[in-house]
């Protein structure tokens, strides 16, 4: 399901907005542990014209579980919610999370998202563990399980509706600060990928990844992040 979903999602993005792939780097192909490679990660990053940045992370495991994370970051301060999509498939179990975060900004475009919520709200809810960010989601988020075809339609329709709002939105410098504050909470208080990223990159590396790959902000100058390991500083 996951590979097909990723393909369909990227086709949906490409049909909605000009999408340019960013250069590959040290995050593009990763594995854990590095020698046995029980988990493999493929990370791709894109610039979406008039919107901001998109990151996709496709995770495969030897246990048969596959994961897809897509982070739609309005890094220009465009007044649309931050969108995080997580999909999981393992044997007969599958789910898709379409998570919208307003990050404290009440003046965001959302009409198309509220309308789409009505289309898919009756799909079975996925039962997740309580966490701080659950209460931060917008009410039209969709946290669902069910038939593969329905979940794929829900995900692609959500992205289509989300990107359709670009022409009606505007850039807001103040919103960038709200996005940065929410991102810091995701780093400090935890996010759905925290444990995996800490194993893969370490605490400092996971913070750098969140700020530069998952949720980058245009024009932001980040302080140098350094970690001392023994007698050496790791930047």
Residue 53's region, left for phi above 0, alpha for psi from -120 to 50, else beta, is beta
* Cβ neighbours for 91, distance < 8 A, ≥ 6 positions apart: 64
**Cα gap 29→57, rounded to integer Å:** 10
Of 57, 125, 122, give the one whose Cα is nearest residue 85. 57
What is the sign of the dihedral through the CA atoms of 202, 205, 207 and 209? negative
Q: Residue 155: CA atoms inside 13 Å, Cβ hemisphere, count?
A: 33
Domains by residue range for the chain, with CATH: 2-173 (3.40.1500.20)
Question: What is the per-residue pLDDT for 228?
Answer: 47
Kindly tell me the sign of the dihedral angle through the C-alpha atoms of 73, 190, 181, 139.
positive
Helix, strand, coil % over all residues of the chain, rounded to 5: 35, 30, 35
> Which residues of the chain have a pLDDT value below 70?
223-235
| pLDDT of the residue at 226 | 59
The whole-angstrom separation of Cα 2 and Cα 129 is 22
Token pair of 27, please?
């995050």
């Amino acid at each position: 399901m996951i590979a097909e979903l990723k393909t369909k999602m990227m086709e949906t993005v490409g049909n909605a907005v000009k999408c340019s792939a960013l250069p590959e780097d040290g995050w593009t192909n990763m594995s854990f542990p590095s020698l046995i490679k029980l988990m493999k990660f493929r990370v791709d990053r894109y610039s979406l014209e008039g919107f901001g940045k998109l990151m996709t992370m496709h995770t495969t495991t030897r246990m048969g579980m596959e994961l897809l994370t897509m982070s739609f970051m309005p890094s220009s301060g465009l007044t649309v919610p931050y969108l995080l999509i997580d999909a999981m498939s393992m044997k007969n179990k599958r789910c898709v999370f379409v998570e919208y975060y307003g990050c404290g900004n009440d003046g965001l475009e959302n009409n198309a998202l509220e309308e789409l919520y009505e289309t898919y709200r009756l799909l079975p809810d996925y039962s997740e563990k309580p966490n701080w960010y659950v209460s931060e989601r917008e009410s039209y988020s969709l946290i669902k399980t069910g038939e593969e075809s329905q979940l794929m339609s829900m995900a692609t329709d959500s992205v289509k509706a989300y990107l359709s709002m670009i022409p009606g939105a505007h850039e807001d410098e103040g919103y960038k600060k709200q996005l940065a504050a929410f991102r810091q909470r995701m780093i400090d208080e935890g996010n759905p990928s925290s444990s995996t990223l800490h194993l893969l990159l370490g605490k400092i590396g996971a913070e750098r990844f969140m700020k530069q790959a998952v949720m980058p902000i245009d024009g932001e100058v980040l302080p140098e992040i350094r970690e001392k390991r023994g007698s050496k500083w790791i930047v």
